[in-house]
Chain A
Amino acid sequence: MSGEGSESPRTDDVGVEEMKVRRVAGTGVPVRGDDIDTDQIIPARFLKTTTWEGLDEYAFYDARRDDDGERNDHPFNEYKGANVLVVNDNFGCGSSREHAPRALARWGVEAIVGESFAEIFADNCKSLGIPAATAEPETVAELQDFIEATPDAGIELDVDAETVTYDGKTVDVDIDEAMRGALVQGIWDTVALLRSKMDAIDGTAADLPYVESR
């Protein structure tokens, strides 16, 4: 069955106003280390699910526990209620599992600031409306030190202006243009956007030598 001639709508409308992500304000949680992979963010054994429920329990599951299974002093045990995650280089590398940013989001993360991100991870953040901002290593280090010294102090990420404000000062960060555009325009839920071009999709497909004519 193709969608052609079916009664199912080939385009649909979603209000974008409520989906705009312009700023995230709250408190921080620092997770230090380069190349933190998505197997660490959520081990594969917790992916055996057909829904997104309960993933917050599994965020950094192994890293949050000692050998005897007791919770340790991992930031995800210590900074409950924080919403701005601050990380280092190549965060989210490895597996494409969207369960990783989903688990972080369900734990409470609404924005991430880091030295750099793996591409698929950053794309997944965009799909979820979570800004992933990059900053110079010194900026990240200062922010992590600040959060550790004053865990309750406020931090604000301005997505549009690409700045982070904390401790009475404002520093520059970078947000990938496509991500920033999608967040501030409220078009990060791409289903409606992509489906609005169904005729152009059919046209592109018809020109490809390997797609059967239909």
Chain B
Amino acid sequence: MKFFCLEDFKVEFEKLISKKAYSTLEQDLINYFFGKSAQELCSGTRLNNSDKTPYIKKRLKGSGGYRFYFLLILKDESLYFMFSHPKIGPMGGINITDESKAYLYKKILRCIKTNDLYKLENLNRKIIFRKVKKVKS
């Protein structure tokens, strides 16, 4: 599996893991996502009625845990993180609106087309973000 993300995801993720309340987030992400096949990651709430490119909202660690929004492109074995948020703690909040879900969906399509993405790597159980070379749209 290859993992990518929007810049919004990277910014939010780095902000979260710097807080003590969310110190397990990085390991939770690695434990759940890394080392699984694309098919195994087809779990959660599918938002877009697509078998080939499911847009998924995944609840991690139950109602008080985290929510991850990501897109899977099964033929490429690629996963694109779009957004994540905790449900509790100092940065916890209610789920994102349908407007935001629709906005992120359009944004990921645009960013995939222009390569405006970061690649995620698991280096000794630490997430490393590397900017993907952008192409002109």
Say if A and B assemble together.
Answer: no
B residues bordering A, Cβ < 8 Å?
none
